[in-house]
Amino acid sequence: MNLSPLQKARYEYSPKLPGMLRNGIAEIAVKEGEKTTSAADQEKIAELFPNTYGEPEVTFEKGQNTSASKKQVVGVILSGGQAPGGHNVVSGLYDALKATNKENVLIGFKGGPSGLIEDNFIVFDDAYINEYRNTGGFDIIGSGRTKLETEEQFKIATEVCKKHGITAIVIIGGDDSNTNACVLAEYMAAHKTGVQVIGCPKTIDGDLKNEDIEISFGFDTATKTYSELIGNIERDCNSAKKYWHFIKVMGRSASHVALECALECQPNICLISEEVKAKKQSLSEIADYIADAVEKRAADGNNFGVVVIPEGVVEFVPEFSALISEINELLAGSKADAFNALESWAEKYAFIEKGLSKEAMEVFAILPQAIQQQLFLERDPHGNVQVSLIESEKLFAALVGDKLKARKAAGTYTGKYATQTHFFGYEGRCAFPSNFDADYCYSLGYNAFMLIQYGYNGYLSKVSNLSRPAEEWVAGGMPITKMMNIERRHGEDKPVIKKALVELDGKPFKYFEAHRDEWAVETSYVFPGAIQYYGPTEVCDITTRTLALEQGK
Ligand code: FBP
């Protein structure tokens, strides 16, 4: 492998552990807190998880290590989308495991959860692990989106564990993967397999958080990467003074990423999907809202600006999600063949016009033709429109253009409007982890092993007090059942970890709300610059504005 100078330098970085884990394995004691109950639907969750429900929160502290001294064989899985720091979770886990007993073994299942079912694995050693320390990506073993959720899969997983003598599995994933980790933990306990299951909170989307999990790993680095790019665009924009930039940022559903970038960069506009839904805003209203800022800035001679759009926004526009449902219905089953057999767009348009309700057609009709066609091209394996593939940055650039044309005709707007569109997503998911993510992830992995060593099952590795220096971080674990409630998914009531959306009464949104009118009209840009790995702590080790605001900083 050819190594960049930065990669070589990052190999030498020693991630910072919480103070309580720094004294060596022999001095890590455990303290159990109160018994826990689930976030909601306590009776139902207790009934579904009789072996893993109600366990206590645990915290590690300096003291005599009293864990059992059996040999551990641990399997690790990376699940879902990449998030910077995954390699450090694995290296932290490996280091704690080897520091406890040189004979302990860490097995990596390749390509995500399917690796466990297919028994596709590698056994880690020092040389292999060392190549991945403090690097981005999930290429150490690869990731995948197969879900481990059926009884059949659990049976196979048990067999694979038996074959390798596995004593514990660590699943590094988001809310769904950790929900499944919890179900697997219950299965393993109910069937007395002796296999423990521990989860680690991952996702750049930042939507796996709650009163116990302050932040999912990867969010810090990904948002810093996007903020660097947005800041650069703001500076270019303020230099050339000729474009409105529409920038879509990743985050499948929640708008945490967009909001954090807005707090970092102070663009003119940032849409927040959760607010769009709460206010039942239509596409036309959103376009008017942006056009108002364009018009006001034009009146000051500023025919430029930056608009940040969360990836999932269209799904939160009530009229648009109604349109999507109708389109899914219109093309359900064999009806799609009849549609696809039509040759020209005019014929297809007539088919659509006939099939959609008047309300849905009104929404469809205002969309640019490219977006209309995307709605009929991209289907997921279940035959649904893939909303995340809709180029909403282009959609809003065009809708605002239409509004401005009308305003020009009415004589209220006399500015110039030229646009550039961007999508920042994959470029943030595998960046070298920031010092925060490098430290946090290493701690999560190290801590996950301590939970295993102390015999816990169905726990999420938890490191908290994160807006303070690492020395003051608190390491421990939380039963996953504590984060659960019952939700309706695919027509069934399911126990799931509650997905965290942006809270409109939360401090990060409130701060944004209090400043956005000023940012819309003024040029208040902030340029965060590239992630810094070396230098003063206040530049290199700071975490997100979201976390700081949430923790009252
Ligand atoms: P996870 O929830 O698995 O962490 O993935 C998040 C994400 O990066 C979203 O932001 C994005 O919408 C999606 O994955 C993209 O998925 P894919 O990599 O399959 O294109």
Measured from the Cα of 79, ligand 1's closest atom is: 3
Q: What local confidence, expressed as pLDDT, does residue 260 receive?
A: 98
Nearest-5° Cα angle at 455, 452 to 456:
80
**Environment class of residue 332 by beta-carbon count within 10 Å: exposed (0-12), middle (13-18) or buried (19+)?**
exposed
Could you tell me if 424 and 248 are in contact, meaning their C-beta atoms sit under 8 angstroms apart? yes
Dihedral over alpha carbons 37, 38, 40, 43 (to 10 degrees): -70
Please enumerate, by residue number, every residue annotated as part of a binding site for Mg(2+).
175
**Environment class of residue 101 by beta-carbon count within 10 Å: exposed (0-12), middle (13-18) or buried (19+)?**
middle
Q: What is the pLDDT of residues 296-308, one digit of tens each?
A: 999 999 999 999 9
Please enumerate, by residue number, every residue annotated as part of a binding site for substrate.
203-205, 242-243, 250-252, 311, 426-429
Give the ranges where 300-391 is alpha helix by DSSP (H). 313-316, 318-330, 335-341, 345-355, 358-366, 369-377
Q: What local confidence, expressed as pLDDT, does residue 380 receive?
A: 72
Could you tell me if 273 and 315 are in contact, meaning their C-beta atoms sit under 8 angstroms apart? yes
Query: Which amino acid residue places its CA nearest to atom 5 of ligand 1?
Result: 81
H or E stretch at 187: helix 175-190
Q: What gap in Å lies between CA 448 and CA 485, rounded to an integer? A: 24
Distance 310 CA to ligand 1 centre (A): 13
**Active-site residue among 125, 139, 176, 205?**
205
Measured from the Cα of 312, ligand 1's closest atom is: 12
Measured from the Cα of 250, ligand 1's closest atom is: 10
Q: Look up residue 196 and give its two tokens.
A: 């423990």
Distance 283 CA to ligand 1 centre (A): 25
Strands (E), 163-223: 168-173, 196-201
For residue 5, the Cα-to-chain-centroid distance in whole angstroms is 29
Nearest-5° Cα angle at 462, 458 to 467:
165
Provide the 3-class DSSP secondary structure of residue 189: helix
For residue 345, the Cα-to-chain-centroid distance in whole angstroms is 37
Q: What gap in Å lies between CA 351 and CA 345, rounded to an integer? A: 10
pTM assigned to the model: 0.95
Task: Name, in order, each residue with C-beta under 8 angstroms of 465's C-beta and a sequence gap of 6 or more.
Answer: 472, 473, 474
Which regions of the chain are under pLDDT 50? none
Measured from the Cα of 207, ligand 1's closest atom is: 2
Ligand 1 binding pocket mutation candidate from 77, 203, 314 (most atoms within 8 A of CB): 203
Ligand 1 binding pocket mutation candidate from 89, 204, 208, 441 (most atoms within 8 A of CB): 204
Distance 81 CA to ligand 1 centre (A): 5
Provide the 3-class DSSP secondary structure of residue 542: coil
Query: Which amino acid residue places its CA nearest to atom 11 of ligand 1?
Result: 252
Q: Look up residue 360 and give its two tokens.
A: 């849905």
CA distances (Å), origin 41, targets 46, 353, 366, 480? 9, 44, 43, 14
Nearest-5° Cα angle at 308, 79 to 547:
60
Distance 515 CA to ligand 1 centre (A): 30
Please enumerate, by residue number, every residue annotated as part of a binding site for diphosphate.
81
Q: Look up residue 513 and give its two tokens.
A: 């709300």
Distance 69 CA to ligand 1 centre (A): 39
Task: Name, in order, each residue with C-beta under 8 angstroms of 321's C-beta and a sequence gap of 6 or more.
Answer: 314, 315
Could you tell me if 449 and 432 are in contact, meaning their C-beta atoms sit under 8 angstroms apart? no
Distance 89 CA to ligand 1 centre (A): 19
Please enumerate, by residue number, every residue annotated as part of a binding site.
81, 175, 203-205, 242-243, 250-252, 311, 426-429
- Taken in order 312, 45, 506, 541, the sign of the CA dihedral is negative
SS3 content of the chain, % helix, strand, coil (to 5): 45, 15, 35
Give the ranges where 380-479 is alpha helix by DSSP (H). 392-410, 435-453
Residue where the block lists tokens 């014929």? 347
Measured from the Cα of 203, ligand 1's closest atom is: 4
- Annotated catalytic, 300? no
What residues does ligand 1 touch, defined as CB less than 6 Å away?
80-81, 83, 174, 203-205, 250-252, 311, 388, 429
Could you tell me if 263 and 502 are in contact, meaning their C-beta atoms sit under 8 angstroms apart? no
Q: What local confidence, expressed as pLDDT, does residue 382 receive?
A: 67
CA distances (Å), origin 85, targets 314, 539, 548? 30, 19, 20
Sheet arrangement for strand 269-270:
269-270, 305-310, 244-249, 419-424
Query: Which amino acid residue places its CA nearest to atom 17 of ligand 1?
Result: 81
